[in-house]
Every structure is written in structure tokens, then in C-alpha cells.
Chains A and B, each alone.
Chain A
């Protein structure tokens, strides 16, 4: 009986540890898909197998194991390499045009189409 309990407990712990590892790998993949490879521009760190990308993947994995959050990891990489290393740039004074301009063009375009449509009617 004791043996069975021990075996069950051991299996549960192995499963928990394994699922934790899978979760961590998922998070490494998620973050590395949003990080630009600086030595093979146009590719993400996830897609690239360059020396730089492989090291970045290790760093991301180490940081996750240290208990750092996704945002902490982005902040760390931005501090080292600048905003450009992230595919999805943050909204700030340097990037506001990037975010606002398409919306503005969409609204102006929509207004013009609406006005013309109304005039034709």
C-alpha cells in the first residue's frame, strides 16, 4: 500500500514538473517570436538559429526560471538593445505616429468615402 502511494505521489510530482517545463518552453517560444534577430534581420529569434538568437533563447529561458515576468524580459532586452529588438513597439513619444497614423488615415478615408457616398445618393 505504501509502495502504491509513493508511486502515485511520484507520478503526480513528475507530471507537475513536466507540465511546468512545457509551460516555460511555451513562454520562451512566445517571447522569442516577438524578438528580432539582430544578426539576421527580418527573422525572429524563434525562427533563427544564429549564434545570437540561440543565446537570446537561453537568456529568456534562464530569466523565466529565475521567476521573471514576460514584461521583465522585454524590459531587459530593450535596455540592452533598444526598442527595435521587439517586433511590436510600445506606444511612446517616439512611436505614437506609427500607431496613430493608420487610425487617422482610416478615419479620414472613411469620412471621405461616407461623404461621397452620401453625395451620390
Chain B
């Protein structure tokens, strides 16, 4: 009786771990951080991409207005693919898009915009990547819908037609 109980116990433990590992097999092992929504954005100062001056975020993001912050770089291939969608969104005149150029050569970044078009109301530079971290970004491209100085939606990876429709609904 005692022996049976011990065997049952051991089998149960093995079965328990088997189930855990088996379920773990199908689990995506790349981690996506908790999406930081409904948190107030931090104040920062950034250089402008096309002018030799700086601007404070308090002057960019005002209350009662929706903005889109897009983090991009000329060396990022998905950003190139995303660009036509940003141009499409710009043409809807529904939202002001702020571009944050991430760890890029100034000449390459300017050339990228000159060649593919400028969807941004304002283009900023993040030379050392520290501004992107204030938004909780870790890859490119990332896009944030900001309302009343709060992040209300975050898109990891390139935006597409579906995201555009969704973004427009946030502006209404």
C-alpha cells in the first residue's frame, strides 16, 4: 500500500513536469515586454533632423491631441517597407506623425527621407538610442499612439493598412 502510494507520487510528479515541458514546447520563446500603455510619456529634449536646433517634448506633444511617434532608421529594412504606409497615413491628414530617427548617420537619414518622402510633421534624432528607451522601445520600427501625453497604443514592427485604420479610429 505504502509502495503503491510512493509510485503514484513519483508518477504524478513526472507527469506534472512532462505536462509543463510539453506545453512549453509550443510556447514562443522570444519575449515581448509588457506594453506600456496609459502611462504618461517622459519629458525629453531632442535634436531636430533637418535643423540645427533642439526641441523639448513638452512643446511637441500637447494635451487634447493625438500624435503618432514612429521610431525608424535608414539602416532598418522593415522601416523602408513601412514607409509607404506612413505616407498613406500622412495623406489622410488624420494625425500628426512625429519621426524619431534612431542611431543613424545624419546624411543617410536625410537621404532616406528625400528619396522616399517625408511623412513626418517633425523629425527628431535619437543619436544614442536613449530617447527610444524612454518609450520602452527595443527594436525597429516601433510606433506609438500618444493622446493627452499618454501612450494609448504601441505597434511593434511595421505598421500596415490594418494599423492605419485602427490609428484613424483613435483620432476620432
Residue B130 CB within 8 A of the other chain = yes
Residue B22 CB within 8 A of the other chain = no
Range, interface on chain A? 10 to 19
Choose from B30, B34, B139 the contact partner of A82 (Cβ within 8 Å). B34
Q: Are B33 and A55 in contact (CB under 8 A)?
A: no
Residue A27 CB within 8 A of the other chain = no
Q: Are A55 and B132 in contact (CB under 8 A)?
A: yes
Q: Are B33 and A81 in contact (CB under 8 A)?
A: yes
Residue A71 CB within 8 A of the other chain = no
Distance, CA A62 to CA B39, complexed state (A): 22
Interface residue ranges of B75-118 to A (CB < 8 Å): 102-103
20 A-B pairs with C-beta separation under 8 A: A38-B33, A38-B138, A39-B138, A41-B29, A41-B30, A51-B102, A51-B129, A52-B129, A52-B138, A54-B129, A55-B128, A58-B128, A58-B129, A58-B130, A62-B130, A80-B33, A80-B133, A80-B135, A80-B136, A82-B33
Q: How many A-B residue pairs have CB under 8 A?
A: 47
B-to-A contact residues, CB < 8 Å: 29-31, 33-34, 36, 39, 102-103, 128-130, 132-136, 138-139
Q: Are B133 and A59 in contact (CB under 8 A)?
A: yes
Distance, CA A56 to CA B103, complexed state (A): 13
Distance, CA A41 to CA B129, complexed state (A): 19
Closest to A85 in B: B33
Q: Are B34 and A39 in contact (CB under 8 A)?
A: no
